[in-house]
Amino acid sequence: MKRTIIPFGPQHPVLPEPLVLDLILEDERVVDAVPTIGYIHRGLEMMVERVEYTEMGFVAERICGICSFMHGMGYCVSLEAIMNVEVPERARWLRIIWAEISRVQSHLLWLGLGADAFGFENLFMHCWRMREEILDIFEKTTGGRIIHSVNRIGGVKRDVSDAELAAIVVKLEELGKAFEKTANVFGKDPSIRHRLSGVGVLSADDARAVDAVGPMARASGVVMDTRLSGTYGYDQVDFEPVTETAGDCLARVVVRMREVQQSIGLVRQAVEKMPKGEGMPLENKPRGNPVGETYTRLEQPRGEVLYYVKANGTKNLERFRARTPTFANIPAMIKLVRGCDLADVPNIILTIDPCISCTER
C-alpha cells in the first residue's frame, strides 16, 4: 500500500510546544512515527560553565515552567548532598508541601489540555479555573505564579506562617471536593469513555520493557514511585502509589485524577506533622565550593527525574545533567503511536503528558 507522511508539529494546535513527529501512514493507520528534536534546545546543561553554582538553581528552575519548583528542588538537593548541608526540618516540610501543590497544579493543567485534545473544551476551562486557585496559593506563599525561586542550597528562602498553612489546607480540601465533580465527568461521561478507553494500551510488561515512568507506568499497573524510596522527608508521610491496570488513555487520566486527591492529602499530612512556630531556621548556608559528584532522584508530576551533578571545587560545576520523565516516556509513546489511528494520535501523545522543554532543555 502507498505510504503517506504527515508532519506533526512543530507548530500544532494540540500542543503549545514544538513536538515534531513525522507520521508515516498506510490509509488511516499510523505505521511509524519518527521524532525530530532540537526546536527548543537551549543548551541549559552547558550553562554551568558560565553561571556560578549558587545561581544555577534559578537556571535549573527554568528547565520547565510547569514543574519549576521540583527542578529547583532537585538541583538544591543534589548540591546539598555534595556539600553535606543539613536542611532544617521546617524547610524540608515546606519543600514537600510546595512539591505536592505543584503536582496538583501540573495534573490540573494536564487534565485540561487532555480534555481540550479530545474535544471537551468546557472541561478544559473548568480544570484551568481550579488551577488558578492553586496559582493563587503559590503567589501568596512564594511570590511567583510559575517561577517560584524559593529553593536555596541548604533550605528555602521564605517561611509560610502556620495560620496561612492551615488556610491553604482548607482551601485545598474545598478544591478537592469541587474537583470530585469534575472527576466524575472524566470517569463516567460515556463520550469520554468511548473516546479514551481501549485507546493506546500499554501492557505492564511493555511498560517495564520501554522503561516508562510516572503516571504512564502506574496506569499500566507498574508500582513505581520515587517517593516510595522515602528520601527528602517522604518517609514521614503515609501514602500508597496510585495504580490502574487497564494501561489505556482513560487509565492514564484516572491515575492523574486520583493523584490530585492524593497530593492534597499529602499536603494535609505535611502541615499536621511539621514543627510549628515562628522564626524557625529555614536555611543552612553552605560554605566554600562543592567537590564531588552525586545522583538525585525525585518524583515529578510526570514521573521520575534524575539529576547528575559533578563539582570540582571551583565556582562552576563540572557537569549538570537532568534525565527528565518525558525523555523516558518517549519510547513508550512511539510504541503506542505505531499501529493506532491517525485521529488517536493527539490523545496518545497528550496522555504521556509530554514536556518538550524538559526533554530538550
Where on the chain is the footprint of another protein (CB under 8 A)? Answer: 10-13, 16-18, 38-44, 46-47, 50-51, 58-59, 62-66, 68, 109, 112, 124-125, 128-129, 131-132, 144-147, 355, 357
Nearest distance, CB of residue 78 and another protein, angstroms: 19
C-alpha span between 350 and 84 (Å, rounded): 40
Nearer to another protein, 319 or 338 (CB): 319
Nearest distance, CB of residue 178 and another protein, angstroms: 13
C-alpha span between 361 and 352 (Å, rounded): 18
C-alpha span between 60 and 307 (Å, rounded): 10
| DSSP, residue by residue, 70-133 | HHHHHHHHHHHHHHTPPPPHHHHHHHHHHHHHHHHHHHHHHHHHHHHHTT-HHHHHHHHHHHHH
Tally of CB atoms within 10 A around 42: 13
CB 215 within 8 A of CB 302: yes
C-alpha span between 171 and 177 (Å, rounded): 10
Strands 20-26 and 29-36: antiparallel
Nearest distance, CB of residue 35 and another protein, angstroms: 13
Nearest distance, CB of residue 37 and another protein, angstroms: 9
C-alpha span between 341 and 115 (Å, rounded): 19
C-alpha span between 18 and 32 (Å, rounded): 19
Nearer to another protein, 123 or 242 (CB): 123
| DSSP, residue by residue, 176-187 | HHHHHHHHHHHH
Nearer to another protein, 98 or 124 (CB): 124
Nearest distance, CB of residue 190 and another protein, angstroms: 26
Nearer to another protein, 31 or 178 (CB): 178
Nearer to another protein, 13 or 190 (CB): 13
Nearer to another protein, 14 or 228 (CB): 14
Nearest distance, CB of residue 154 and another protein, angstroms: 22
